[in-house]
Amino acid sequence: MTDKTVSLPEAPKHSGFIKNNLRNYGMLLSLLAIMLFFQIVTDGTLLQPVNLTNLVLQNSYIVIMALGMLLVIVTGHIDLSVGSVAGFVGAVAAVLMVTYHIDYPIAFIACLLIGAAIGAAQGYWVAYFKIPSFIVTLAGMLVFKGLALAVLQGRSVGPFPPTFQKLSSGFIPELFPSAGTLYPTSLLIGVVLAFALVLASARGRAREQSHGIEVEPYAFFVAKSIALAGAVLYFTYLIASHRGLPNVLVIMTVLIAAYGFVTRRTVVGRQIYAVGGNAKAAKLSGVKTERLTFFTFVNMGVLAALAGLVFAARLNTATPKAGLGFELDVIAACFIGGASAYGGVGRVGGAVVGAMIMGVMNNGMSILGIGIDYQQVIKGLVLLGAVCIDVYNQRR
Amino acid sequence: MTAMLEMRDVSKSFAGVQALRDVNFTVEAGQIHALVGENGAGKSTLMKVLSGVYPAGSYEGAILFDGEERRFRDINDSEELGIIIIHQELALIPLMSIAENIFLSRAPSRYGVIDRNAVYRRTAELLAQVGLRESPDTLVTDLGVGKQQLVEIAKALSKKVRLLILDEPTASLNEADSAALLDRLLAFRAQGIASILISHKLNEVARVADRITVLRDGRTVDSIDCRTEAVDEDRIIRSMVNRDLAHRFPERNVAIGNPVMTVENWSVYHPLHTARQVIKNVDFKVRRGEVVGIAGLMGAGRTEFAMSLFGKAWGYNITGKIRLDGREVSLAGVPAAIDAGLAYVTEDRKQLGLILADDVRKNVTLASLRLVAERGVIDDVVELKAASDYRNRMRIRCSDVYQEAGQLSGGNQQKVVLSKWLMTDPQVLLLDEPTRGIDVGAKYEIYCIINELAEAGKGVVVISSEMPELLGICDRICVMNDGAFVGEFAKDDATQEKIMRAIMRNVRMSGSGAHDDAVQVAGGAQ
């Protein structure tokens, strides 16, 4: 008791710091807790290398679309059409590559351009005609679901050329002779990545400190760096002991890093948040609000197309049902990750963590043999709970 | 005659700003009591206290109705007694019929099913009472503003009104509609219904009022019994504006240079009612080192004028010329206006000025991110330093620049908005009500900033509804009414009486602000 009273004056600053950061890292901690829970109840199956690799592959397209959806949600809009668009683009890819035998790089680029065109078409109505995005993209959802059926003429089209399949089912090439069960190239990339992350944050901290800016406590910084590096290393070790880094994980990581950078550090990113926070004030501050909104939809279209390609490559066939309901998982990922339905708030990291929470729960519950019926119930309740916690946090 | 309503020593303050101070206000049964005063004198606040919008306990003093002390918890309590307030912004639902609007919450019904015939019949009776010849099934959106006002009054009558409060009911009406409305009030008086009429139009007030009370700075400063005394408009105007200058204004070295912005033949139409010309071919000029004030009533077109200059941020079919330092420029959008050296500080900092959920730093740098970024990438350290500089220079009181703008007080929020615009290094600043809703100390600091800007050779335009403020800080004051400049006074020549007279004279001449569209809509609905 006496100890507590003595240490009180010191306490507020640090506990304030930890409290603020708890809010930022709250969802990450939830993810860790959920992973730990399933790791225990599945007797360690969850984090077995083969399952982990599967987990990444299963959720890659959700994560990719969540990056675009986050921007759309931050500007205060929503895109319900992403699932249909992904399905449609997958169908187009199949027709181009399988039916017309067009080379896969050309077909790939054509598909991304189609995605951009779709995003532009929808964004135009939202940004310049001020039609609620809910309605525009609801219409888009129906249109592209129908077009996917039309393009495929109701049949499944496949299989894809082997090089295209590599997009989803391939792994990075091994440069070194295999060392037992481990893939050294992947491991090396993981080590370099962990080192680079720690170095970058240390340099950033030193720079801020040299300008007299208040930084996080040293102990906290060290703990954070160790945790970060440890997590990256452990993860790559697991991945490297199956078949190495999947290609799609490399794509995802690059995209996450790029979108994280754009949202946090660039003028465009700042302006996107400003539009969502108060569109009128942003406009009167010289932000081109319409153009930004338009381009968030274009961007969403491209990412939905990419996700459609990844999904089609993974199934190795384009089916009329591809993409069905993806939009719900993607939107749920953003909201679980702390994005605000009113716009202006949300982080790339949050959306990724949100997508991973959904993915781990899907995977864990499947391992446990819980039926698809109750899986949906539980996921729904988690979504509601996560947003409730967030609203409660905002009110305090 | 006995007092129906007595408000005793009512005081009310908002976050340190005293809006009402020991106000005494009495209304007798069957009396029309006019309440006049400048914008911000406390008229609406007093009426909100009376109607229970501000519940008992949030103000000091007592309200007596029929000789009994009343403590209204909300607007329902006051309506119960027959005190009905009709706000300036009408509270009708446009896409519902007149009948549905009047009986919105208390429709005659049986077992929860609305008795449509009874609603129709009673609405027809009420409309006859207010002299509105329209079918009860007519949609409110098809009515002109004048007729909508009558629907509001019919709605009040349906609630067994005893005291009717009208907040600037004729502000958006033309002459004929205003006259009809005032005749209605006289007819109600004959039936024993008392009215409180808030109005800027002294000719109207003089015509119908039995008593006129003048509010100034939240106090009752004069009360005239029109039955025993002649109504002297000069006396009323003097009471409205003649205050002891409680807050002083900082001194400035005036060094006026060449015109920095010249506006010629500027004309702006309403973006929705596209036939309505809001700014009527005006000329305007501000010189380097000069602070020019624009006086006028709310709705005179001052904000619309400023925003239309600022990259056509408001309005439709904007024509006219802007010259900056003698060179003609075309400012097609806000970014172009910012680049050309214009800044517009909005009157509505919460809705249009700030991103409340974002921190001070992000708000300050929003309009000039280019300055803290290289090739589109923001340099955190440079940005933080810029924001901290403004925080110190403008003395923004916040825990640090990472504090949310929404958590700051009004004065500090205003300084954040000003910082944002100073950072763009403007040559002409359009400040729209820069001291609205902020306390005296913060006002003084804002005046100092305005002076610094003028001394640095910028052109400053201040739109304000507080006349002492304009007199205190401006070198020249232009008076705007109904979209045109109706008077201009040099600093030494300007007095509150002259300005008020220029406004009042023109309000009377234009009747109502002559909103053409209202007339047209009303005509079309007949």
pLDDT in tens, B375-399: 999 998 899 999 999 999 988 888 8
- Asked if residues B7 and B25 have their Cβ atoms less than 8 Å apart, the reply is yes
Whether the per-residue pLDDT at B513 is higher than 50: the answer is no
Closest CB from B355, B377, B380 relative to A278: B355
Interface membership of A283 toward B (CB under 8 Å): yes
Asked if A285 lies within 8 A of B358 by C-beta distance, the reply is no
* Per-residue tokens: A361: 């729960």
A251 contacts: CB under 8 Å, gap ≥ 6: A60, A64, A310
Asked if B385 lies within 8 A of A271 by C-beta distance, the reply is no
Residue A48 backbone phi and psi in degrees, to 5: -70, 140
Asked if A277 lies within 8 A of B366 by C-beta distance, the reply is no
**Lowest-confidence pick of A30-39, A156-165, B304-313, B512-521:** B512-521
For residue A47, the SS3 value is coil
Q: Percent of chain B beyond pLDDT 70?
A: 92
For residue B263, the SS3 value is strand
Please report the pLDDT score of residue A13 as a whole number: 44
Q: What is the nearest CA distance from A394 to chain B, expressed in angstroms?
A: 10
Residue B356, CB-side half-sphere exposure with 13 Å CA sphere = 12
A55 contacts: CB under 8 Å, gap ≥ 6: A46, A359, A360, A363
- Asked if residues A277 and B351 have their Cβ atoms less than 8 Å apart, the reply is no
Cβ contacts of B346 on chain A, cutoff 8 Å: 284
Asked if B377 lies within 8 A of A265 by C-beta distance, the reply is yes
Asked if A286 lies within 8 A of B367 by C-beta distance, the reply is yes
Residue B458 backbone phi and psi in degrees, to 5: -85, 160
Closest-CA residue in chain B for A288?
Answer: B335
Please report the pLDDT score of residue B459 as a whole number: 95
pLDDT in tens, B249-292: 888 888 899 999 999 999 999 888 888 889 999 999 999 999 99
Asked if A280 lies within 8 A of B352 by C-beta distance, the reply is yes
Asked if B366 lies within 8 A of A211 by C-beta distance, the reply is no
Q: What is the nearest CA distance from B76 to chain A, expressed in angstroms?
A: 29
Please report the pLDDT score of residue B517 as a whole number: 36
Cβ contacts of A286 on chain B, cutoff 8 Å: 334-335, 337-338, 367
Please report the pLDDT score of residue B524 as a whole number: 32
**Mean predicted lDDT score pLDDT of chain B:** 85
Sheet holding B32-36, edge to edge: B83-86, B163-167, B194-198, B32-36, B211-216, B219-225
CA proximity to A125, closest of A297, A304, A271 = A297
Q: What is the nearest CA distance from B414 to chain A, expressed in angstroms?
A: 13
Asked if B357 lies within 8 A of A277 by C-beta distance, the reply is yes
Please report the pLDDT score of residue B90 as a whole number: 74
User: What count of other Cβ atoms lies within 10 Å of the Cβ of residue A387?
Assistant: 17
Q: What is the nearest CA distance from A156 to chain B, expressed in angstroms?
A: 45
Cβ contacts of B313 on chain A, cutoff 8 Å: 283-284
**CA–centroid distance for B520 within its chain:** 25
**CA–centroid distance for A122 within its chain:** 22
Q: What is the nearest CA distance from B381 to chain A, expressed in angstroms?
A: 7
* Average confidence (pLDDT) over B412-438: 91
Based on the number of CB atoms within 10 Å of its own CB, is B233 exposed (0-12), middle (13-18) or buried (19 or more)? middle
pLDDT in tens, B75-130: 888 888 899 988 877 778 888 899 988 888 777 777 778 788 888 999 999 998 88
- Asked if residues A82 and A318 have their Cβ atoms less than 8 Å apart, the reply is no
Closest-CA residue in chain B for A286?
Answer: B335
Asked if B381 lies within 8 A of A208 by C-beta distance, the reply is yes
Interface membership of B345 toward A (CB under 8 Å): no
Whether the per-residue pLDDT at B232 is higher than 80: the answer is no
Asked if B351 lies within 8 A of A278 by C-beta distance, the reply is yes
Position B507 confidence tier, pLDDT thresholds 50, 70, 90: low
Please report the pLDDT score of residue A14 as a whole number: 47
B264 contacts: CB under 8 Å, gap ≥ 6: B283, B320, B321, B323
Q: What is the nearest CA distance from B464 to chain A, expressed in angstroms?
A: 20
- Asked if residues B217 and B239 have their Cβ atoms less than 8 Å apart, the reply is no
Asked if B313 lies within 8 A of A265 by C-beta distance, the reply is no
Please report the pLDDT score of residue B515 as a whole number: 40
| Pairing mode, strands B163-167 and B83-86 | parallel
Q: What is the nearest CA distance from B25 to chain A, expressed in angstroms?
A: 40
Interface A–B counts its CB contacts (< 8 A) at: 77
Position B321 confidence tier, pLDDT thresholds 50, 70, 90: very high
Whether the per-residue pLDDT at B518 is higher than 50: the answer is no
| Pairing mode, strands B259-269 and B194-198 | unpaired
Secondary structure of B463-498 as H, E, C letters: ECCCHHHHHHHCCEEEEEECCEEEEEEECCCCCHHH
Whether the per-residue pLDDT at B516 is higher than 70: the answer is no
Cβ contacts of B384 on chain A, cutoff 8 Å: 211, 213
Please report the pLDDT score of residue A23 as a whole number: 60
Give alpha helix (H) positions in chain A: 2-7, 11-41, 49-74, 82-94, 104-129, 133-152, 162-169, 184-210, 218-240, 247-265, 267-277, 279-284, 289-315, 326-336, 348-368, 372-395
Q: What is the nearest CA distance from B208 to chain A, expressed in angstroms?
A: 42
Closest-CA residue in chain B for A340?
Answer: B357
Closest-CA residue in chain B for A268?
Answer: B376
* Average confidence (pLDDT) over B339-351: 91
Closest-CA residue in chain A for B418?
Answer: A285
Cβ contacts of A277 on chain B, cutoff 8 Å: 355-358
Closest CB from A211, A266, A284 relative to B313: A284
For residues A63 and A334, what is the distance between their CA atoms, to the nearest angstrom? 10
* Per-residue tokens: A352: 């990724």
CA proximity to A359, closest of A61, A45, A97, A137 = A61
Asked if A286 lies within 8 A of B352 by C-beta distance, the reply is no
- What is the H or E stretch that residue B68 is in? strand B68-70
User: What count of other Cβ atoms lies within 10 Å of the Cβ of residue A384?
Assistant: 12
Closest-CA residue in chain A for B364?
Answer: A285
Please report the pLDDT score of residue A1 as a whole number: 36
Closest CB from B357, B366, B380 relative to A285: B366
Distances (CA, A) of A319 to A141, A249, A306, B262: 16, 24, 16, 66
Please report the pLDDT score of residue A318 as a whole number: 92
Closest CB from A207, A281, A286 relative to B338: A286
Residue B398, CB-side half-sphere exposure with 13 Å CA sphere = 27
Q: Percent of chain B beyond pLDDT 90?
A: 37
Cβ contacts of A208 on chain B, cutoff 8 Å: 380-381
**ipTM (interface predicted TM):** 0.83
**Lowest-confidence pick of A344-358, B28-42, B360-374:** B28-42
Whether the per-residue pLDDT at B210 is higher than 50: the answer is yes
* Average confidence (pLDDT) over B415-425: 94
What is the residue type of B248?
R
Interface membership of B175 toward A (CB under 8 Å): no
Regions in chain A scoring below 70 on pLDDT: 1-24, 178-180, 393-396
Secondary structure of B153-193 as H, E, C letters: HHHHHHCCCCEEEEECCCCCCCHHHHHHHHHHHHHHHHCCC
Asked if A270 lies within 8 A of B351 by C-beta distance, the reply is no
Interface membership of B373 toward A (CB under 8 Å): yes
Q: Over the Cα atoms of chain A, what is R_g?
A: 22
Whether the per-residue pLDDT at B519 is higher than 70: the answer is no
Q: What is the nearest CA distance from A264 to chain B, expressed in angstroms?
A: 9
Asked if A285 lies within 8 A of B420 by C-beta distance, the reply is yes
Interface membership of B362 toward A (CB under 8 Å): yes
* Average confidence (pLDDT) over B437-464: 87
Closest-CA residue in chain B for A285?
Answer: B367
Interface membership of A201 toward B (CB under 8 Å): no
Q: What is the nearest CA distance from A285 to chain B, expressed in angstroms?
A: 5
